[in-house]
Structure 1
């Protein structure tokens, strides 16, 4: 899943991420409570501010739950047992999808 987010930001609001993932903000708040790997900071108003690391973890959770059909408990177990291996595979897939998009853009320009 390739998100359309500015790569140079230090923090993303829950609204930005809900739009990028095409989900309700309430789902992201729920995942924040359920998954220990998510550690967004809260600003003075109490709004969650997600770091780029949180975004990577959200992508991984989204991939496991929404794309691969894991239950929440299954995703939690999978993350605890093989987080490094899963993250490596996910990053490879993500990079390949980015390359595919670039190649398709080049093809359309030919």
Structure 2
């Protein structure tokens, strides 16, 4: 069984960034990134939140967009009601993992 919720520490470690950057991105992309919070106020990230963060990370850290530019790109792609770019990336990652496991099983 996979984990349903991840702490900010786990998410930050996954991306190799500080938790403060995750909180900063949460504020900068408030309409897009909304993790749930428990009764004590601790953030709990789901897979959909991590997929959004992966997309933000790709735009800002890998492609070199500034925050305003990244927001524009995300808003432009968010118009489509069917699937967001972050969901596409997440599905492709899962498909790759599945294909790798399938290849290992067939050998």
Q: TM-score, normalised by structure 2?
A: 0.73
* Aligned-partner Cα distance in 1 for 2:77–2:46: 22
CA RMSD of aligned residues (A): 2.7
Structure 1 residue 83: Cα displacement: 3.0
Q: TM-score, normalised by structure 1?
A: 0.71
Contiguous gaps of at least 5 residues in structure 1: 1-5
User: Contact conserved, 2:51 with 2:89, CA < 8 A, in 1?
Assistant: no
Corresponding residue pairs, total: 103
3-state SS of 2:44 partner: strand
* Aligned-partner Cα distance in 1 for 2:89–2:47: 18
Counterpart for residue 3 of structure 1: none
Structure 1 residue 76: Cα displacement: 0.5
Q: Tell me: higher relative CO, structure 1 or 2? Use CA pairs within 8 A at least 6 residues apart.
A: 1
3-state SS of 1:44 partner: coil
